[in-house]
Amino acid sequence: MIDIVKSVKEEEWKSFLNKCDEATIYHTPEWKQFLEKTFGYKSEYLFAKDKSGNIAGFLPLFYIKSKLTGNRLCSVPFSHICGPLGTKEASTDLLEEAIRLFQKSNLNTLEIRGTIDDERFVSLNSFSTYTLELSSKPDEVWPKLNKGSVRWAVKKAEKSGVTAETTRDTGDLKEFYEINAVTKKDLGVPCHPWKFFKNIFDILGNHVSLYVSKSNGEIIGGGIMVYFKDTVLYGYGASNPNYLNLHPYNSFIWKSIEDACVKGYNIYDFGRSSYSNTGLIDFKKRWGTVETKLYYSNYPTKPNSLSENRESTKYKLASRIIGEMPLLMYKQFSDVVFQHFG
């Protein structure tokens, strides 16, 4: 006998996640609070309880209503994997409730970012993630990295006087936001709003850290790392285009890997990449990573996604328009549209 409830005590919630190997940062109460505060999404969090009143399963859902990317019920926005947790019976009942919620709403798609063994769902593979197995000794990880590119670039950055460090300073985070805006504008895509980075640090606390590369005291690149259980996720990275010859990415990534090893983390996840982004995929593979294909499950049909098809005429036109915007206008534009791409 399974009962579906929409609210549980936070300590009970976290205790359940600690027992689930498949649980991710995206299943946490902190991620829920972060998304609600940053984008104002309405949520439907479903918990399955067994006859003893214990949590047997969990499925987080958010409503995203967008003329740009379609109306959908998603588990969950701005995650690269976040499927139902728990027993098979609980997961089945949770999915039935999710379908019921979807059917009574004016939505186009129910999207579960994970594999669902149900013929009613359409499976879609547009991304892979790339993970590096860590060791308690960074020296044992170093040989896994490509010698002619990654290791060479790390050493070149060090010889050029580039330093890497972790920081929680708001001023440093603000500088990273500005660099990220320039980086994303050059790519022709919307950038993360300032409130995205501010809220992720305010709400997720020790689950996140900012690593920066510096040259002569100036931040020239950085990345935000997200920590949960035994995994470090390289979530968001950017670099000043004027300093790419100093290899800031390699500098702060290697520093974050070293620290992760010493702190006892087992996996370093470079995050998901679209198959059309071949340059980024090649960069991640050079770090000795293993590819894992990500399958998303959609009911009743797969969504149309502008961001996943980089070769489409619409995508190329949008990228060109974004690239031609003045920076201030571009940031204001991003503040409005970014939430649609969760």
pLDDT at 146 > cutoff 60? yes
State the DSSP string of 71-111.
-EEEE-TT-S-B--EE-HHHHHHHHHHHHHHHHTSS-SEEE
Residue 57: strand, helix, or coil: strand
Structure tokens at 313: 């005429």
- Hey, do 3-114 and 129-293+310-341 end up sharing a CATH topology, with the first three levels equal? yes
- For residue 276, the 8-state DSSP code is T
pLDDT above 60: residue 14: yes
Between the alpha carbon of residue 213 and those of residues 37, 70, 337, the distances in Å are: 30, 38, 29
Alpha helices in the chain (DSSP H): 10-19, 29-39, 88-103, 138-141, 152-159, 170-187, 194-204, 248-262, 278-285, 313-324, 327-337
Q: Residue range 7-28: average pLDDT?
A: 97
| Residue 303: per-residue pLDDT | 67
Pairing status of strand 163-167 against strand 208-215: antiparallel
> Pick from 44, 62, 64, 63: which is nearest to 4 by CA?
44
36-80 per-position pLDDT tens digit: 999 999 999 999 999 999 999 999 999 998 888 888 999 999 999
Alpha-carbon dihedral of residues 168, 172, 176, 179, nearest 10 degrees?
-170
Residues 6+ apart with CB under 8 A from 117: none
Cα 318 to Cα 337: distance, rounded to the nearest angstrom = 12
Residue 90 backbone dihedrals phi, psi, to 5 degrees: -65, -45
Which pLDDT does position 202 carry in this prediction? Answer: 98
Instruction: Measure Cα distances from 6 to 3, 58, 94, 165 in Å.
Output: 10, 10, 11, 41
For residue 341, what pLDDT is reported? 87
Is 129-293+310-341 a domain of CATH 3.40.630.30? Answer: yes
The CATH number of 3-114, from 3.40.50.300, 3.40.630.30, 3.40.630.10, 3.40.718.10, is 3.40.630.30
* Long-range contacts of residues 157-162, Cβ cutoff 8 Å, at least 24 apart: 157/213, 157/246, 157/247, 157/248, 157/250, 157/251, 158/251, 160/215, 160/246, 160/247, 161/215, 161/216, 162/213, 162/214, 162/215, 162/220, 162/246, 162/247, 162/248, 162/251
- Residue-wise pLDDT for 275-319, tens only, equals 999 999 999 999 999 999 999 999 998 766 545 555 566 667 778
- pLDDT for the residue 309: 54
Summarised one tens digit per residue, pLDDT across range 78-95 is 999 999 999 999 999 999
Measured from the Cβ of residue 175, the count of other Cβ atoms closer than 10 Å reads: 19
* Structure-block tokens of residue 234: 């390289």
Tokens representing 131? Answer: 């993970």
Give 171's contacts (C-beta < 8 A, 6+ positions apart): none
Q: Where are the domains of the chain?
A: 3-114, 129-293+310-341
Each residue's pLDDT tens digit, 211-229: 999 999 999 999 999 999 9
> What's the pLDDT at 311?
56
**Distance of alpha carbon 108 from alpha carbon 23, whole angstroms:** 27
